[in-house]
Amino acid sequence: MIQSTLSTDLITSDILPVLSKSKVARHTYLDNRVTKSQRENRRTRSQRARERLQTKEHLSRLAVGLGEVELADKLDRCHSRLSVLTCGRHIARIIPNFTCEFRLCPDCGRRRSRKLQSKYLPMMRGFMLHRKVTPVHLVLTQTHRKENRKQSAKRIKDSFTKLQRRGFWQNHFKGGTWSLEFTKDKKGLHHTHLHIIGFRRKFFDIELLRGEWLAVTGDSHVLHLKQIKDIATGLREVVKYVSKPLDIRRFGAADLKEFLGLKNMRMFGTFGEFRDFCKDFEPSDNDAAAVGDLESLARDLVEGCACPQCNQPLFDLRMSAKELPQFYEQVESSPPGKVGTSWN
Ligand SMILES: [Zn+2]
Ligand SMILES: [Zn+2]
C-alpha cells in the first residue's frame, strides 16, 4: 500500500557523496534535483490525488497509534466530501466540506502554498521592478550532526542570520524569502535545507559565496545557486516545501510525535529589504491583473458559469475524496468536445 519507490527521493542521499568525494559528485547533486522535479511534473493529477489520499490515511493511522484521536478524526474529515465544479472535461473548482489545517496534511498544504503564491507574487514582481534586482534560488545545506529537527532547523537559521550580517551578503543581495525543507536520508538521518529566493544586486563568483557560508557555519560549503528565469515558477518551487515539508510516507510514529512538538516553528518567511517592502506594499490594479489571481477568479465561479477553459457550462458534482482520483482519470482521458456523463 505504501509504495517503496517514492518520487521524492531524498536529495540528502545525493549530497552525502558531495561532502566526501569529487567535484563530479557535486554536479550529480544538481542534476538529481532537476530530475526530481521533472519526475514530479510527469505525475498526472489523478496519481497525485491518489498519493494525497494515501498520505492522509498513513498520517491518520500514525495519529491513532499515538493516541492523537482528535487529529486523526480531523484528517479523516478534511476534504472527505467534495463539491467539484466541472464542465466534464475540466475541473474549475473544488470546494471541500472541511479543512483540518494540519501542517502535514497534503490537501491543506496545497491550499496554503497557493495562498502564499498569490500573496507574494505581486510583491516580488513589484520589488524586482522598483529595485532593479534579479531573483536567484539558493539552497543552503549543513553537515549532519546528532540533533533533532528543531535543533537542526535552529542551527541553519542562525547560520543564515550570520550570513546576512556579512558585508559580502549585503553588497550582493537585497533580501528575499526563505523556507525550510526537512529530509531524511536512507540511513534515517535528518537533514535540514534552507531554500532562499534571493534578490541579487549584482553577479558574484559562487566560490566566494561558498567561502562565506563556510565561514559562518564552520564546516559547510555545500550550496546550490541557480538563476530564476520566471519568478512565478521560482516561487512555486520554493513554497512547495511549505506544503510538503518532508516525505511523510516514510514517516514513522516517532517522526510524527517529533513534528507535533514543532507546532510553532515558522517554515517560511521574508528577510532584508524585501521584508520591509512587503510591509508597505499596496498592489495596484495592474499588479493584480499582471498576476492573474486565479484563486479569486475561481472563488467567483458557481454552477452554470462558463468553464474558464472551454466555455461549456459548469455543473456541480458531489463526490467523496476516494472518488476524486478516478474522476481526474476520466477528465484526463476524455477527448476534446466530449463531456463526461457517467457522473451526472
Ligand atoms: Zn487538511
Ligand atoms: Zn471546460
Model pTM score:
0.76
| Contact (Cβ atoms closer than 8 angstroms) between residue 69 and residue 306 | no
Range 63-80 average pLDDT:
96
Tens of pLDDT, residue by residue over 90-102, are 999 899 999 999 9
pLDDT value of residue 100: 95
pLDDT category, 25, cuts 50, 70, 90? very low
Judged by its nearest atom, the ligand closest to the C-alpha of residue 301 is 2
* Letter string b/e over residues 144-173, b meaning 16 or more CB atoms within 10 A of that residue's CB: beeeebeebbebbbebbeebeeeeebeebb
pLDDT value of residue 328: 93
pLDDT value of residue 8: 30
Rounded to the nearest angstrom, the gap between the alpha carbon of residue 84 and the centroid of all alpha carbons in its chain is 24
Residue 266 CA, ligand 1 centroid: distance in Å: 18
Write down the H helix ranges in 182-338.
206-217, 231-243, 253-260, 272-280, 285-291, 294-299, 324-333
Residue 155 CA, ligand 1 centroid: distance in Å: 29
Residues with CB under 5 A from ligand 2 (ion): 87, 89-90, 307, 309-310
Residue 78 CA, ligand 1 centroid: distance in Å: 5
Tens of pLDDT, residue by residue over 36-53, are 544 556 788 899 999 999
Block residue for cell numbers 513589484: 126
Judged by its nearest atom, the ligand closest to the C-alpha of residue 308 is 2
